[in-house]
Amino acid sequence: MRRFVLIAMFLLCWLLPAAGATAKGDTDHSDRIVLSGPVLVDRDETSGSVVVADGDVTIRGTVDGDIVVADGDITIRGTVDGDVVAIAGQVTLGRAGRVTGDIAYGDKKPVLAPGSSVSGDVKKFELGDASIVGAIGFWIGFTLSLLVLGLVLLALAPKAAEAIARTAKAKALVAALVGLLAFFLIPIVAIAACVTLIGLPLGIVLLFSIVPLYAIAYLSAALVLGRAILKKARILAFVVGLVVLQLLTLIPIAGGILGFLATVFGLGVLLLTLVRARS
């Protein structure tokens, strides 16, 4: 099985989100990448590779590529000119089902009807393969969550996004220092406040606000990075910045450091923007 294809298709998954897909009348061999929902390639239809995060896949026509499903069953009554990967689900080949590549499964053993054909191997995931897929799945889910949150914030507060970009450009060094101080000071103040009866409500509020605050700070850094690449397009700049930042976090060791620095810088920019808005 071509592991590179599997990883590459998953990395593409979050770039082309969709609620569901049906290959009705599609003959352009385009890939189908779906986050949640079923995919059907009907008779006399041809599709490119199919990648589904959560949903069942039914193939009655032809898939000119691979099929990768994270959570869902795959039913093949047509032809798949590539590999079939089912991480948490079952692959079923009907009597006319044909797979020219491998079938790899992580949960349930595939069901192959008499007359079906698999040119490659039928094998269960090794532990290393499963861990790679799991890590990629987590990365995709986390990135999607950040993307949705960031787009919602941009829609609700477009002027704030512009103010953040201006602050980062004018006060970059100060923002980094403020962010570094605030990153460690906020949890310390929250814990110290929880020790006293009077400060307990404040401490609880601060503790519960740390995660969303740091998430917004990270998104602010993504926006700033995107605006450094694309000068004017706000939404596109944010998406590009988040993509670049998230890809950088995949680098072993250095990725974690870069993620920390981005959060610190974004937190400083965010706090400075709030102070400047009040003045």
Each residue's pLDDT tens digit, 32-69: 878 778 999 999 899 998 988 788 999 999 999 999 88
Task: Indicate if 118 and 222 belong to the same structural domain.
Answer: no
Task: Indicate if 163 and 228 belong to the same structural domain.
Answer: yes
Specify if 141 maps to a domain. no
Q: By CB neighbour count within 10 A (0-12 exposed, 13-18 middle, 19+ buried), where does 108 fall?
A: middle
Task: Indicate if 273 and 178 belong to the same structural domain.
Answer: yes
Task: Indicate if 197 and 237 belong to the same structural domain.
Answer: yes
- Chain segment 67-78, per-residue pLDDT in tens: 988 889 999 999
Cα distance between residue 143 and residue 62, in whole Å: 31
Specify if 63 maps to a domain. yes
Specify if 146 maps to a domain. no
Cα distance between residue 260 and residue 270, in whole Å: 15
What residue numbers bound the domain in which 193 lies?
Answer: 157-278
Task: Indicate if 58 and 10 belong to the same structural domain.
Answer: yes
Confidence check: pLDDT of 199 > 60: yes
pTM of the model: 0.57
Task: Indicate if 103 and 176 belong to the same structural domain.
Answer: no
Residue with the two structure tokens 């960031």: 150
Confidence check: pLDDT of 129 > 70: no
Task: Indicate if 124 and 161 belong to the same structural domain.
Answer: no
Task: Indicate if 175 and 248 belong to the same structural domain.
Answer: yes
Task: Indicate if 163 and 272 belong to the same structural domain.
Answer: yes
Query: Dihedral of CA 184/186/188/191: which sign?
Result: negative
**Token pair for 32:** 């189908």
For the chain, how far is it from start to end, CA to CA, in angstroms?
60
Specify if 138 maps to a domain. no
Domain count, the chain: 2
Lowest average pLDDT, out of 74-78, 173-177, 197-201, 220-224, goes to 197-201
Task: Indicate if 16 and 93 belong to the same structural domain.
Answer: yes
- Chain segment 143-187, per-residue pLDDT in tens: 888 999 999 999 998 888 889 989 998 999 999 999 999 999 999
Residue with the two structure tokens 């949150």: 149
Q: By CB neighbour count within 10 A (0-12 exposed, 13-18 middle, 19+ buried), where does 253 fall?
A: exposed
Q: By CB neighbour count within 10 A (0-12 exposed, 13-18 middle, 19+ buried), where does 114 fall?
A: exposed
Task: Indicate if 108 and 172 belong to the same structural domain.
Answer: no
